Amino acid sequence: MVLADVSKVKAVAFDLDGTLVDSALDLTVAVQDCLSELGLPLCSEEQVRLWIGNGAEVLMHRALMFATSADVEETRLAEVMPRFKWHYQQNLQKHSRLYAGVLAVLGRLHDSGIRLAIVTNKPYAFTVPLLAGFGLSAFFSLVLGGDSLDKMKPDPQPLLHLMHEWGLKEDEIIMVGDSKNDILAAKAAGIGSIGLTYGYNYGEDIALSCPNAVCHQLNDILPLIL
């Protein structure tokens, strides 16, 4: 590593999907329910894993493009989104699972006095119940969804907002995530990042985005931060 001076790190911004929660199967089921209602061909979980990363609307846009083999009008997407949201809300947590070590790692950081935030591209309305359902709410004093501000990752806006809210300098916070959007957002905000290899990153190697460190399991971030 790596991070310039870990002794300065006071806060960690965590990504959610592909970092703390493996949510791909529940997202797949919601996408498939929508496609099925529309009489369109279904997609696979493998495909959905490649489409996750830019929020629910882009996910559904990619699914519709695949299923219709055509570009998707904004109006069509706007009609479908309420159905996607309805389906996903029914089964936010049916198949989703925490990745190995999540509770222990968050507990350790929290107990060490590190402030924790969620900075996800997942819509806020799904993020809050999912965190609650997995017993994670108490770890996070700030939760930003993909629709909480004007812009989402890879734009730095959510991270800059968090740093402003908590009065943090660039070397006092790091971003931990599975996607190049997390690493790009961190770089644009001027902060360090740790890339995780087990999540969803459009089928690409997270190392190609040049995070400050790459970890294969969440547990491995602890010695880099504490």
CA separation for the pair 195, 191 (Å, rounded):
13
119 in Cβ contact with 142 (< 8 Å): no
CB of 152 to ligand PGA, least distance (A): 8
User: Looking at 3, 9, 11, 16, which residue binds ligand PGA (CB under 6 A)?
Assistant: 16
Report if residue 201 touches Mg ion, rule: CB under 5 A: no
d(CA 117, CA 105): 14
**Closest distance of CB 45 from ligand PGA, Å:** 15
Determine phi and psi for 113, rounding to 5 degrees: 85, 10
- Whose Cβ is closer to ligand PGA: residue 24's or residue 224's? 24
Task: Decide: is 54 part of the binding site for ligand PGA (CB under 6 A).
Answer: yes
Number of CB atoms found within 10 A of residue 62's CB: 20
DSSP 132-162: HHTT-GGGEEEEE-TTSSS--TTSSHHHHHH
- Strand 115-119 vs strand 140-144: parallel, antiparallel, or unpaired? parallel
The binder of 63, among ligand PGA, Mg ion, none, by C-beta within 5 to 8 A per type, is none
Backbone angles phi, psi at 83, to 5 degrees: -70, -45
Q: How many Å is the Cα radius of gyration of the chain? A: 17
Q: Which lies closer to Mg ion via its Cβ, residue 157 or residue 179?
A: 179
Known active-site residue 205:
no
Minimum CB distance to ligand PGA, residue 85 (Å): 12
Residues 166-205 as x/- pattern, contact with ligand PGA by CB under 6 A: -------------x--------------------------
Applying CB under 6 A, among 28, 121, 157, 212 the residue interacting with ligand PGA is: 121
Binding-site member from 26, 53, 64, 211 for ligand PGA (CB under 6 A): 53
The contact set with ligand PGA (CB under 6 A) reads 15-18, 52-55, 59, 120-122, 179
